[in-house]
Structure 1
Amino acid sequence: MNIIGPLSDPRAHGGRPEDAFHLVIPSIPGFGFSGPTNEIGWNTDRVAAAWLELMGRLGYERFGVQGGDTGAIISPKMGNLAPDRVIGIHSNGLIAFPSGDPAETEALTEAEQERYDRLSGQGYEDSGYAIIQATRPQTLSYGLTDSPVGQLAWIIEKFKEWTDPSAPLPEDAVDRDLLLTNVSIYWFTGTAGSSARIYKEDAKSWGMPGKKSNVPTGVAVFPNDSSIRRLVERDHRVVHWSEFERGGHFPALEAPDLLIEDIRVFFNALR
Structure 2
Amino acid sequence: MISQQLAVAAPDQVVGVHLNYLPPLPPAGGIAGLSEEDQRRLAHTKAYAANRAGYQVLHMTTPQTIAYALTDSPAGQLAWTAERFAKWTDPQSRIPDDRLLTDVMLYWLTGTAGSAARLARESTYVAQAGRPCPAPVGVAVFAHDITLSVRAVAEQRFDIRHWSEFDRGGHFAAMEVPDLFVEDVCKFFSTLA
Q: TM-score higher than 0.5 here?
A: yes
Whichever structure has more strand as a proportion of its residues is 2
Aligned-residue CA RMSD (Å): 2.2
The residue aligned with 2:89 is: 163
Residues 1:210 and 2:130 aligned together: yes
> Runs in 1 of length 4+ with deviation above 4 angstroms?
none
| Match 1:246 to one of 164, 168, 178 | 168
Q: Specify the code of the residue in structure 2 equivalent to 1:106.
A: G
Q: Is the CA contact (8 Å cut-off) linking 2:28 and 2:153 kept in structure 1?
A: no
Q: Is the CA contact (8 Å cut-off) linking 2:144 and 2:168 kept in structure 1?
A: no
| Match 1:138 to one of 55, 64, 84 | 64
Q: Deviations over 1:36-73 (max 9, x none)?
A: xxxxxxxxxxxxxxxxxxxxxxxxxxxxxxxxxxxxx1
Tell me how far 1:202 sits from its aligned partner.
2.7
Distance 1:205 1:267, change over 3 A: closer
Helix, strand or coil at the partner of 1:138: helix
Tell me how far 1:79 sits from its aligned partner.
1.5
Tell me how far 1:175 sits from its aligned partner.
1.5
Give me the TM-score of the superposition, normalised by structure 2.
0.88
| Match 2:73 to one of 140, 147, 172 | 147
Q: Specify the code of the residue in structure 2 equivalent to 1:236.
A: F
The residue aligned with 1:108 is: 35
Q: Is the CA contact (8 Å cut-off) linking 1:218 and 1:241 kept in structure 2?
A: yes
Question: Gapped runs of 5+ residues in structure 1?
Answer: 1-72
Q: Specify the code of the residue in structure 2 equivalent to 1:108.
A: S
Helix, strand or coil at the partner of 1:220: strand
Tell me how far 1:235 sits from its aligned partner.
0.8
Sequence identity percentage: 43
Give me the TM-score of the superposition, normalised by structure 1.
0.64
The residue aligned with 2:11 is: 83
For 1:1-271, list aligned pairs within 5 A: 73-99=1-27, 101-102=29-30, 104-110=31-37, 112-120=38-46, 123-164=49-90, 166-167=91-92, 172-204=93-125, 210-225=130-145, 226-271=148-193
Q: Specify the code of the residue in structure 1 equivalent to 2:78.
A: L
Q: Specify the code of the residue in structure 1 equivalent to 2:121.
A: K
Q: Specify the code of the residue in structure 2 equivalent to 1:193.
A: G
Identify which of structures 1 and 2 has the higher relative contact order when contacts are C-alpha pairs closer than 8 Å and 6+ apart.
2
Tell me how far 1:99 sits from its aligned partner.
4.3
Q: Specify the code of the residue in structure 2 equivalent to 1:186.
A: Y
Q: Is the CA contact (8 Å cut-off) linking 1:118 and 1:124 kept in structure 2?
A: no
